[in-house]
Structure 1
């Protein structure tokens, strides 16, 4: 046997060899990238000595350099170092940037890789003080000034051993109340009476002056000073403004004062000249150096009203001819004045339509408001311009409406020549084929009497029709069956439906109602339904906004109806339960009384609801129930229970051989009273004294006995004495 030869070396595929080479190369690079520097110490790069910075002056940048083992160069580690200050209230430090906060001393420290370096820092003011001056002299801490004065202050910065420096333009100037005065580069503008503090700040140093501003005037008056009245179109009127000085002198300040109007749409004002521009009221105010005066102005229209004809909104198409509007103005009791040609006509959207002297011309698809104005009165109409119509259709081709109702017609949609769909309901012109039935009055379509009419709508020779049927107001929709049994797999006829109207008339609407089944187990295909699967289903019938429901049971076929009493006797005013048993084809039984459709003849004898019968009065009748086409008839008697018997006499004296008829009346439930003499059972206590038959008592011999009449458990007694 030959021994196994040693295994030959496995040859690496070329792609695997290349991959291993790349991995080895990346491994060597990775080692180089993550090699850490060894830090041997850190120091500041050329730190100032001494280190001094000034408040509100330039910040000082410190850099930190690190010595690296094996390297002759230094590494900048400023942003990597951790920085701290011994007093952040004096010096703030961020990545080596030192910012002065307040006068004092602090030590700034940088830490890196376990090494630490520190630098003492002194914070000081660049100047000893700053002073607000006026004409070279320091101003007082508080100054009284008057409106109208001009103020210009300077700011001088002082430093020991040096001349003062003018820093007015470089300082930051502020006013504590800019409504009283504003300041810019030391120049102060006085605006109103009051107090404000002017502050100048430079290089951390500040100086202030408190200004008390007053007016040189006591008051300002306008003349004329009463109500200023205009009629729209009147010429302008002038006001004069007079200011009274604190010394009592009067100055005409009409030209210098500031004039304002509370409503520029009513009046404008310029140097006291008031011009009416629109209806309404406004307040004119004149203000000068802290004092002001006002007057009220009213502008009234020259006419009471304007009327446009036609006044209705206009709906046009691009093909339509221009529409002419007429404008008249009116005052009560006066003849209207035509102002069509002289009124100011405007279109809010000239792309859609233009207007000139009342003539509205459609120009483009869109809407616009056409407005006419004349001497303070205005009126307007809305205009809609529609595209050219290629065809149109109605949302409904037939509608049912009710007598005397105002009706909204169905939406009309048009297809344009661009094959776009547009609602053109307001553009359609309608005519009625029978205005006695359905006609337009006061802008509304109204149902005038019962009947039918055809409405024809037209746009650009395109037409659409809608059939309108006017009904009486419906009150109640009823079914002749409240319960319907459908044999599984078979068809059954739908109930007969009746609509009762407000007039009291009734109509068979079986063929007009819409049926809806609550379950797919019952298929509705008028005039029949078909049960698919045993279940309980609700059928809903709807017509003219009224609806009613019928309970439907899909079940086996019933072969027999059984009742425990076919001739029940009831008392009046009571409620009784009827028990009816149905026998299925399979032999199973079911209680059916509550599911049957019952009718009572006569109806006034009793009411039936489900399995309950409520008797109303005495009498006899027939109670008929039906289920699955099978009928059950009960002969019903309603008889009140006897409550009391009353004889015509309670004692009687007769001679032997004499006879006397006695009558007994019975009082029943419900209040009925009747003669029950012959219905009663009569007995005598002693037939040797007297006998009785049907209430006739016969005296036999001397003695005393009792004659008794009994009926339905009630008894009357008559004491009879026989004497010769």
Structure 2
């Protein structure tokens, strides 16, 4: 109301401003002059239930525009079809009306067409496959929300082809234009349908020639071949589409393809592809492709400046061949030797060249030999020359054609040793003695000549071995045998050397002996040598009168040494001339063969002369062996025993050496020895040794050795710091025993765990070790366990139920094997399976977050665990067992957790919520929001537990109708009520939401539960909602009985008589159905009847029948 008053007031002010005189009050208010009004559109099409907003714009004389939509008066021609408010049109029912907008006296109209709302569109074909030029008609049926169906093929808003070049569409008629695919789309109202269309859809392509499939083709250059590409279409057609296909050659320069005609242009291989309808087929075309090239000849020998023709033949895949000498490409790898043009080879210089011919992708080569000698021959391979002499060698070359030529002057000559010999054009000149190799090169070949200049092939001396006495001389004669076999003396020309001038030296072949020994004399002439061995004063052998000497200390004995020389069998005494040495001057000395014993021992003497030597072994007071009277002794402490040692010498003599032998003990604490007298001190074992003259004997001494040791305790269990005494008893072989605890040697395997002194074992730290007591060579062991834990146990609970943030003390007790125990909480190592949930620190268990964790504690190798449950619920419960919702609504769920202590709390916000189908319903902090029809499961998780609640959105467990059966009269209506029952027991009227159908429209139709009876009969009305159905049987015009007001009628000719048919319905109501009934006469010539009016025509009897609603009644009539 306020808005309307405001608008009226605004319009009034505006009108006053327009009417004010220009001179009023001395000044005028300038006002815009309205010119016209335009609307945003002049035509609107809507479906029932849709809306559309119009905009009204005022245009003033000044060209100013203004949106006056809200200032405009809007009116509708028929509000039952559409309403309009502030320019917003809302479609109500089918029809065509005018919407009028009026502003400042100007009216503008809009044509509005309202059609029924389309629920769905149905096409008669889901897909179409066509051949080019063919036509297919698509029929489109619209199903409206009122369940009516209509053919809207020609009323469709728009038919569209996604590819007009393949197929176009007009009013549902599809015309195929070209091979390919397209999508036909039709839109009607708010609904759209699509139909995929394939035009000339090809399943495969085949390349053929006269129905023979082809994959390869061979052509000559310039030839052509017509092939066909056959297409198999999805409708079964098999058609030549050569003219329609796209032909592509991957090298048009070799072969070109056009509509299946392949033309060869150049030699090579090419692939031709034919494509059509998304498919393709390929063929490999060989154009003059050569399989083999043959050159004749394959090799040639030529002289410089000569020419030679090579013939080249190509052999093709089809078995044919041709001469292609002039077509081929020719090349030489060495134009300096030979060139080639069209198979003609021209030689320029001597050498080798390789000629290649290429044609049709193949290449062959020809070897060309230009004046190249196959071999070189010298008239001699060796040459003997004297210094300053010369000689000419002849060199001949043999060519490939077998000819021989003297090339001495043309060859290149060289010497590898020009200091010995030089060469020029085969003439060799000797320079000095030696050897040189002469090389003769012609072309690529080389010949060699070995030249010897005064070179001896061998040297020989008149003697190979010479024996001389000191001061004597011996002349030697050296003879050289030259390579030509001639021998000559070269003693004076040779170079002479001695390898040891101190023994013998040589001058011009004369050897002079200097001193005893051996020297080698070498004579060198040219590169050859000869040697002779010179022996000066060298005996063949030495002999000494004694090889073994036995002496007493300070004794002396003379040796005699003889030498035997070459050429004499008589010995020569060389005792004083020989060189004498001793291996040990402290044992024995020697001078000119005189041996003196210095001290007891053994030494080796050596006498040397002329490279020979002899050895003599000297024993100076050295025994061969020692013997002790007792090798093993059993003694008691403080006992003494005397032993005797005897020495046996090489002479067989024996002496008591007890007093002079060197005595030692390996353990002076156990036993000592002086000159064989052994004294026992304490239990144990010792080895006594006596050494004399390099020989040694030993005595094993056992003192107070027990056969067994026994400890009074085998195992001990102690706590750290505690002590316990252990005693050891020794039992001897004579059966006696004694306590030797104080005398035993005690040892701990680990003093860090337990220590021991005199059998007193003291616990140091926890652990296990062994204590060993030793006496003599016997030992006994005691196992000691210090603070060894037998088990762990919690003195606090082993299961904790806690809240987040709570703390609780924990304690651990260790039970030791000695049956003692102690708290080890702080010493143990504590770990948690999840520090995020709970952990132990300094004996305090702290809870951090909901969940279950295992606390593990380790101490002394043992492990125990406890369980922590933080905010763990024993059970979860949701305030609703089931949620039944309508679409786009929300419901709050409340989650309650019950803990171990039986306390409960609301944990809705703390839980994790999840929906099995977010399309149906989602959940956040317990608030369930529905989005679509269907079922979903909501899950809440908290404290290791989960609970679910089913959600149903518009899901009915059953539906039922207000009536089980209906009896209705034709032409009348009756409303049914449909009720949905949901799983929570609630009910809802869903009459207008359900889908209604009838089994017979002729009998009765139904709209939103309203039954409209049409004619007599029976039908079934079905309502469908949420997958459920409910039906009711409907009987139209169900009668109890039918009767005629008259039973017998008598009439005269041409008279009429009105009779009435009265129907009594099932509801006991009566109704005149004379007009509705079906009347008939058994004899129309006597009487006829219509709507109960009988007309008599002739005399006689007839039976009048009336039928209505399945009932029949009769009336007898007599016409007189």
The answer, yes or no, to whether TM exceeds 0.5 is no
Q: TM-score, length-normalised on structure 1?
A: 0.26
